[in-house]
Amino acid sequence: MRKRRGNGRPTIADVAQKAGVGQITVSRALRDPSQVSENLRRIIDDAVRELNYSPNLNARALASARNDLVGVLVPALTPNIFTDVLRGIYDGVEETNLRIEIANTRYNRELEERRILEMLRHKPAGMIISGTDQTPTARRALEAAECPVIQIMDLTDDPIDRVIGFSHVEGGRRMTQHMIDAGYRRIAFLGGYLNDRSGGRLIGHRQALEAAGLYDDDLVCLLDEAPPSVDPGNPDEWIRFSSPGTGRAMLTKALETIPHLDAVFCNNDMLALGVLFECQRRGIRVPEDLGIAGFNDLDFAASAEPGISSCRTPRWECGHSAAHAIRDELDGTRELPRIVDLGVEVMGRGSTAKPL
């Protein structure tokens, strides 16, 4: 639940936590008690008295001016990952009066902070934010917002309001374990561009190899710095380095530096596709000589030859569930858990079907 504001006075969030209900339910009960059951009204009244809560009438007047805007912040608009998320959000608000306003934060926390503060000035009906690593200023502003705030595409034990996502660490661990179970032993991690979320995949990769007694620091291959033609201050440029071309270049580097390499786990499917292309160019047999796996399970992974094994992530489901979470909280139709783990699924295909 959101933390108490700095002045020490109890907030509506404190009342909601004490009563075991959502903030929207408390707000509705205080504004019009006839909208909730007698038993629920009694529980909320008891929490109000016990906490000595006094509603902020000025804040209530401002909240009543809230519009039908849902602010959505994503770190990029080019990869298919976030177009799937946005499709889920739009599907989730279909046939409602809610309208979506999108901001591209370009993997930049300071830019994300500015966009969050700008959107909150419009008193939105809700906020959906990709990721859980907001700046302290952005987090405080979201904690004080009188609207549902849903973080998506990751998990945290301390969400601002609610989080709906999946574990990148678990995804990385399960994908690497799949390759170990298939018989591969020298499994490199090709990182490309790592952000806070995708870095969890490397953690999971290491966990699986360590548990099997196979971990070696030399198995990690990352882009340590931008090539001369790339502006390191422009995240859009970095996104291009999670591409098939980068996958081909990184495999070339891995083959030169990692002895007896027999498999690669790529940070995303675009890198994995590039690795497959480079294997075909070099005459490296997949999966006999080299196993390949990616992450996210984009549409082309199943269509490649051989099909690329990948970790399927619930991108549409994250967006759709977040939109419905806002609808449900605004309507007071049901109380939702603070943390929703949608899980991941390993999609084993020909690229890791190592002959016995």
Express each pLDDT in 21-73 by its tens digit. Answer: 887 788 778 776 777 788 888 898 888 888 877 665 444 444 455 579 999 99
How is the chain split into domains, by residue range?
12-60, 66-166+315-343, 169-311
The reply to whether 12-60 and 66-166+315-343 are identical in fold is no
Looking up tokens 């497959």 gives 276
User: In this predicted model, which residue has the larger pLDDT, 29 or 4?
Assistant: 29
Domain formed by 12-60, architecture: Orthogonal Bundle (1.10)
Q: Which helix (H) or strand (E) holds 292?
A: strand 291-296
Q: Are 175 and 346 in contact (CB under 8 A)?
A: yes
Residue 76 — pLDDT band, cuts 50, 70, 90? confident
Domain boundaries 169-311, CATH class: alpha beta
CATH superfamily of 66-166+315-343: Response regulator (3.40.50.2300)
Q: For the chain, what percent of residues have pLDDT higher than 70?
A: 87
pTM of the model: 0.79
Report the residue count for the chain. Answer: 356
Q: Which helix (H) or strand (E) holds 221?
A: strand 220-221
Mean pLDDT of 182-187: 98
Q: Are 175 and 209 in contact (CB under 8 A)?
A: no
How much is the mean pLDDT over the chain? 87
Residue 77: the pLDDT is 84
Express each pLDDT in 280-327 by its tens digit. Answer: 999 999 999 999 999 999 999 999 999 999 999 999 999 999 999 999
Q: Which tokens hold the place of 267? A: 């940070």
Mean pLDDT of 187-192: 91
Residue 235 — pLDDT band, cuts 50, 70, 90? low
